[in-house]
A = this chain, B = another copy of it.
């Protein structure tokens, strides 16, 4: 690096500082939705850096849906994403952690189970292996409403992360990342309408067979390996899932 200004050592790239700065401006309402952000040339002077660095920073804002750049026109400020109520808003892994902060989790049971045929198929792992099966419920911190009843499966290998679950407020995948340096590369989510099992109905205080929103999440590491599967049943009426699709650069076909 030519120079990192004052700091010089810590991994705090200039473009990240700039994007944080701009995001803070947007949140303060310094730039209104629909208006144009200062031009790249102006930002370049303001932050005393190259145009390249500005563009990297703007790319971050773009990926979050905060701005859209148009050639010949400028960079247009978008409305900030909705705030959650009884509703979660995530399209990135980070926001999943954020969601976890507004609710509290109770661990109900923790068992080591032997994979039978149907489980081994679902978890994409040969029969005979043992996985941890964890049941939890999640309540809104504000009023104690139970919003979700979850069943989580993780390979036996992650025992020490499982044991830390009750003492931590973080989601399991987040603990696993810290504990084993296993990077979660992505999460595949599937939403469907399902009918509450006996256990789920009891957790959610509804009748068995009530329609619920079921969310299945499969956590996948860098090498494509499956390291956690979670199924949660969510209270209907009180639960909505909100997300934003952004216009993404598309190389024509594909």
A contact residues vs B (CB 8 Å cutoff): 12, 16-17, 19-20, 23-24, 33-34, 59-60, 63-65, 68, 70, 76, 78-79, 81-82, 87, 90-94, 96, 183-194, 211-213, 220, 222-225, 236-237, 239-254
Cross-chain contact B192 with A246 (CB below 8 angstroms): no
Closest B residue to A242 by CB, please name it. Answer: B190
From DSSP, what is the main secondary structure of chain A's interface residues? mixed
Knowing A63-B248, A93-B245, the reply to whether A240 touches B186 (Cβ < 8 A) is no
**Residue A191 contacts which of B70, B220, B241, B253 (CB distance < 8 angstroms)?**
B241
Sort A-B residue pairs by CB-CB distance and give the 3 closest, nearest first. A211-B211, A193-B236, A16-B251
A27 CB → nearest B CB, Å: 8
Copies in the complex: 2
Knowing A211-B193, A253-B20, the reply to whether A224 touches B187 (Cβ < 8 A) is no
**Residue A186 contacts which of B59, B244, B254 (CB distance < 8 angstroms)?**
B244
**Residue A34 contacts which of B34, B223, B241 (CB distance < 8 angstroms)?**
B223
The CA of A42 and the CA of B40, in the complex, are separated in Å by 32
Chain B CB within 10 Å — which of A33, A87, A96, A240 has the most?
A240
Closest B residue to A94 by CB, please name it. Answer: B250
Chain B residues with CB under 8 Å of A240's CB are: 190-192
Closest B residue to A20 by CB, please name it. Answer: B251
The CA of A64 and the CA of B241, in the complex, are separated in Å by 21
